[in-house]
């Protein structure tokens, strides 16, 4: 079980990077991994601060998590032999940092510039293959520094996506309980409770989630970090990813028009709650309250793709038993479900 040792969330906290690295006894060469935009937003500042006390600080910019980018980082690490990696950016950058930190057995610090999904604190990384996305168990960050001043500059839609990803834990945990009951799969009560608590935190504080409300952003960060910790404790994405995520992954494969990850899993969570026979209306109402899409139209994805994605979802990950496995999801049934949950007309 790996857990972050330092978590700093607040305004103007990037300059605490020196203090954090010193406290963690990280004095050797440092490599910052960032993207062009995130480097401008935060990476450059971190570089300049670190450089003052650590002359051996370098930056390397990437834009995707395609295998080629991972290889490029790998080459940089082999060349520079850093003792610490700093992933500064959105989920893609942090995932790429995570994968390399794990491969080279070097700790990393996560410095997110958006709050769009729970990858900022989790040990899981998603990597883009030629035809599929893969989830790899890597390692959790040694520290997380989330500067709310920078995160408020990211599009508001990314905050909504982050909330959707957290609300989805209601159904992810339901699927995990089901796998325990039906398949005797390992179920960790503590990890499940942490994930559920995060989802409740967002639901109870939905009115705070508004642009320029720093308290709302703090709530979201605490929830996202708790989700990451839940995955670290479980040793898998189980507490945070169930049928709603399978639906979103299926949508990624089917639809040419993609919405953000958390927006898609939010819709998936409405469907999953409906299939579990729980209060799907409450999930929909919370999503509505924070301004997240709850219909295909709002997601800007056509009705047909929603139906096809639901039909495809149970085949996405055969090792992940969910409520979808208990259904005979033919085309007609998927259409009825999408209509009953008011996702399509």
Residues 84-143 that bind Zn ion (CB under 5 A): 117
**Least distance in angstroms from the C-beta of 267 to Zn ion:** 13
Q: Closest CB to Zn ion among 98 and 117?
A: 117
Beta carbons of 249 and 187 less than 8 angstroms apart = no
Q: Closest CB to Zn ion among 87 and 228?
A: 228
Q: Closest CB to Zn ion among 57 and 264?
A: 264
Round to whole Å and give the CA distance between 221 and 198: 10
Q: Closest CB to Zn ion among 165 and 263?
A: 165
3-state secondary structure of 33: strand
CB atoms within 10 A of CB 57: 22
Q: Closest CB to Zn ion among 31 and 227?
A: 227
Tokens matching residue 225? 């970090």
Tokens matching residue 100? 């390399």
Work out whether 147 is an interface residue with Zn ion (CB under 5 A): no
**Least distance in angstroms from the C-beta of 241 to Zn ion:** 6
| CB-side neighbour CA atoms (13 Å) of 281 | 1
Beta carbons of 145 and 94 less than 8 angstroms apart = no
- 133 φ, ψ to 5°? -100, 140
**Least distance in angstroms from the C-beta of 245 to Zn ion:** 6
Residues 6 or more apart whose CB falls under 8 angstroms from that of 62 comprise 33, 34, 35, 69, 72, 73, 93, 96
Pick from 69, 95, 147, 165: which binds Zn ion (CB under 5 A)?
Answer: 165
Work out whether 263 is an interface residue with Zn ion (CB under 5 A): no
Work out whether 175 is an interface residue with Zn ion (CB under 5 A): no
**Least distance in angstroms from the C-beta of 254 to Zn ion:** 18
**Least distance in angstroms from the C-beta of 265 to Zn ion:** 5
**How many residues interact with Zn ion (rule CB under 5 A)?**
2
* Interface contacts to Zn ion, rule CB under 5 A: 117, 165
């Amino acid at each position: 079980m790996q857990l972050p040792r330092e978590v700093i969330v607040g305004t103007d906290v990037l300059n605490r990077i020196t203090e954090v690295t010193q406290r963690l006894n990280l004095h050797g060469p440092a490599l910052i991994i960032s993207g062009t935009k995130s480097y401008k937003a935060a990476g450059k500042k971190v570089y300049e601060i670190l450089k003052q006390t650590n002359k051996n600080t370098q930056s390397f910019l990437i834009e995707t998590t395609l295998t080629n980018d991972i290889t490029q980082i790998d080459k940089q690490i082999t060349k520079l032999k850093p003792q610490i990696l700093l992933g500064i950016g959105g989920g893609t950058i942090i995932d790429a940092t995570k994968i390399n930190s794990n491969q080279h057995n070097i700790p990393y610090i996560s410095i997110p510039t958006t709050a769009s999904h729970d990858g900022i604190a989790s040990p899981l990384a998603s990597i883009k293959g030629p035809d599929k996305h893969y989830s790899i168990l890597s390692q959790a960050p040694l520290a997380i520094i989330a500067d709310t001043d920078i995160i408020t500059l990211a599009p508001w839609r990314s905050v909504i996506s982050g909330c959707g990803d957290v609300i989805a834990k209601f159904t992810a945990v339901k699927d995990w309980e089901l796998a325990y009951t039906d398949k005797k799969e390992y179920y960790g009560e503590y990890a499940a409770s942490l994930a559920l608590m995060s989802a409740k935190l967002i639901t109870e504080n939905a009115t705070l989630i508004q642009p320029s409300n720093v308290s709302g952003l703090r709530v979201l960060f605490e929830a996202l970090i708790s989700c990451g910790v839940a995955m670290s404790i479980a040793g898998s994405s189980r507490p945070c990813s169930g049928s709603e995520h399978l639906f979103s992954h299926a949508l990624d494969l089917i639809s040419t028009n993609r919405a953000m990850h958390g927006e898609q899993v939010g819709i998936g969570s409405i469907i999953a709650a409906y299939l579990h026979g729980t209060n799907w209306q409450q999930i929909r109402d919370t999503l509505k309250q924070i301004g997240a899409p709850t219909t295909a139209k709002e997601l800007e994805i056509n009705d047909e793709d929603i139906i096809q994605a639901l039909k495809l979802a149970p085949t996405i990950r055969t090792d992940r038993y969910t409520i979808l496995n208990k259904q005979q999801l033919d085309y007609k049934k998927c259409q009825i479900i999408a209509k009953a949950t008011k996702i399509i007309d």
